[in-house]
């Protein structure tokens, strides 16, 4: 009798009377399905599971865990089996939950993501239906759903056509726009689906909106402009260039430059010298094949370091906007253990002025030169630069899974590692291995 795999054991334990299927599958961590036996066990378990009452929604549900296993397949044979046997069962589970879409939005869209990945016609039918569903069309997972399709997927032309007339409403429409914009840039579409009356109306609405929550929608609209025909394009470009958000203005300048406008190029060149916008402006010029226009000052190392840190701080997952003030705190050349080489590193002091009365300004230190980051709660401008570098060194070693990373991130531990590197105890061919005693307590 063949030995049972960890997945088979977990499924049996979780589906047994009194078992907890979520916890059983959660214990598997990042499991990979590489055998037909595991694929069969997953389908059998799903068939049993869908006969049970629908559980309460949430990311921490057994249904979510079962669906996630469909994206853990790493071999052709189990993938083909799941296409034939697994997706039909998943479609049945999806249909059973559709009436509870208000509570099951995330779970249902996660299943739609799997339908996109597997490409079965019945699953793609559900994807199209979901795009017009009054609840499912608002889910933010749509951006991930569309990117499940490979660029040469034969299903793309039909899918684009089905979602073009009419265009869906809700967030799915923005995700669809971002997707077809990328396909158009890579010359994988012959006709842009927003290059029609309804699409132009939507683009015009987003570009005119003064709602800050829709500025990202205006950015997506501006990205489509090289693929919109005249005379609508000229009118939309004018709206985009007058938009209050600088990111939208830069996107419209890129669109204008792509269409041959010198004005768009000049706008990007000017912004390449502004620290808050330089990184994006330079990236646009490089994409346009006009990096020869980037001024030397924009490539000066310290300016580049400051501009790239501003760009990082402005990311939506960080502060969401560039800092109000930023200045050099320290820079030096040193041996950097996480990368096992000598490099120039920078520390910058930044400040975000409080937007609400009574709130404090956000101040901190950001590092550039290896992994751009700010240890928000651990560093401040009262600390010695050597101490800040020490903590960043520990943090980066931890992120790299480097055996030199100390058990506890401390200034003393980081200083010891930096000092060892300065004394030549690591070489370029160490591949992260330390010459220090493995048991030494840093």
Helix/strand/coil (H/E/C) assignment for every residue in 303-317: HHHHHHHHHHHCCCC
Q: Report the DSSP beta bridge partners of residue 347.
A: 330, 367
Averaged confidence pLDDT in the chain: 93
pLDDT 10s digits, 420-434: 999 888 754 444 444
Structure tokens at 270: 């000017």
CB 241, CB 257: distance < 8 Å? no
Q: What is the pLDDT of residue 431?
A: 47
Count of CB atoms situated within 10 Å of the CB of 162: 13
d(CA 70, CA 228): 38
Instruction: Count the alpha carbons within 13 Å of 72 in the hemisphere toward its beta carbon.
Output: 20
Sign of the dihedral defined by the CA atoms of residues 241, 243, 249, 255, in that order: negative
Q: Quick one: pLDDT at residue 395?
A: 97
| The predicted structure's pLDDT at residue 59 | 62
Give the mean pLDDT of 66-94.
95
| 327 beta partners | 349
CA end-to-end span of the chain: 50
Contact 207, 222 (CB under 8 A): yes
Q: What's the chain's Rg over C-alpha atoms? A: 26
C-beta separation of 240 from 220 below 8 A: no
CA pair distance 235, 160, nearest whole angstrom: 25
Query: What is the CA angle 435-439-441, rounded to 5?
Result: 100
* Tokens found for residue 411: 């200034």
Name the residue with higher pLDDT: 311 or 428.
311
pTM: 0.85
Q: How many other β-carbons are positioned within 10 Å of the β-carbon of residue 254?
A: 25
H or E element that contains 64 = helix 62-69
The CA distance from 273 to 189, in Å, is 35
Q: What is the pLDDT of residue 53?
A: 85
């Amino acid at each position: 009798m063949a030995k049972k795999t960890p997945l088979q054991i977990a499924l049996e334990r979780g589906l047994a009377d009194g078992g907890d299927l979520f916890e059983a599958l959660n214990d598997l961590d990042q499991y990979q399905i590489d055998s037909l036996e595991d694929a069969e066990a997953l389908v059998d378990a799903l068939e049993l599971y869908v006969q049970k009452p629908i559980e309460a929604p949430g990311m921490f549900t057994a249904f979510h865990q079962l669906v996630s296993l469909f994206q853990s397949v790493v071999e052709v044979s189990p993938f083909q089996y799941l296409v034939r046997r697994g997706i039909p069962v998943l479609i049945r589970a999806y249909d059973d939950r559709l009436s509870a879409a208000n509570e099951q939005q995330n779970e249902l869209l996660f299943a739609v993501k799997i339908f996109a990945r597997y490409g079965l016609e019945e699953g793609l039918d559900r994807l199209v239906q979901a795009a017009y569903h009054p609840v499912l069309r608002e889910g933010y997972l749509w951006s991930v759903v569309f990117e499940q399709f490979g660029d040469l997927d034969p299903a793309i032309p039909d899918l684009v056509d089905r979602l073009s007339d009419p265009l869906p409403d809700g967030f799915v429409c923005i995700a669809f726009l971002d997707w077809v914009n990328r396909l158009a840039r890579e010359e994988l579409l012959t006709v842009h689906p927003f290059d029609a009356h309804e699409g132009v109306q939507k683009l015009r609405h987003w570009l005119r909106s003064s709602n800050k929550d829709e500025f990202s929608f205006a950015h997506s609209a501006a990205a489509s402009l090289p693929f919109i025909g005249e005379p609508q394009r000229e009118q939309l470009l004018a709206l985009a260039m007058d938009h209050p958000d600088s990111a939208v203005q830069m996107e419209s300048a890129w669109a204008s430059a792509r269409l041959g406008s010198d004005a768009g190029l000049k706008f990007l060149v000017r912004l390449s010298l502004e620290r808050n916008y330089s990184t994006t402006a330079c990236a646009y010029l490089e994409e346009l094949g006009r990096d020869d226009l980037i001024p030397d000052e924009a490539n000066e190392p310290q300016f580049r370091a400051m501009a790239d840190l501003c760009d990082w701080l402005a990311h939506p997952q960080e502060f969401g906007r560039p800092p109000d003030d930023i200045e050099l705190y320290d820079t030096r050349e040193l041996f950097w253990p996480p990368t096992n080489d000598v490099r120039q590193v920078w520390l910058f002091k930044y400040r975000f002025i409080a937007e609400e009365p009574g709130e404090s300004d956000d101040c901190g230190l950001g590092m550039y030169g290896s992994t751009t980051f700010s240890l928000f709660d651990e560093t401040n401008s009262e600390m010695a630069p050597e101490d800040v570098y020490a903590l960043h060194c520990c943090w980066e070693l931890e992120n790299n899974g480097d055996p030199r990373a100390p058990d506890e991130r401390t200034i003393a531990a980081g200083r010891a590692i930096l000092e060892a590197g300065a004394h030549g105890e690591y070489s370029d061919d160490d591949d992260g291995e330390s010459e220090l005693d493995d048991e030494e307590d840093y």
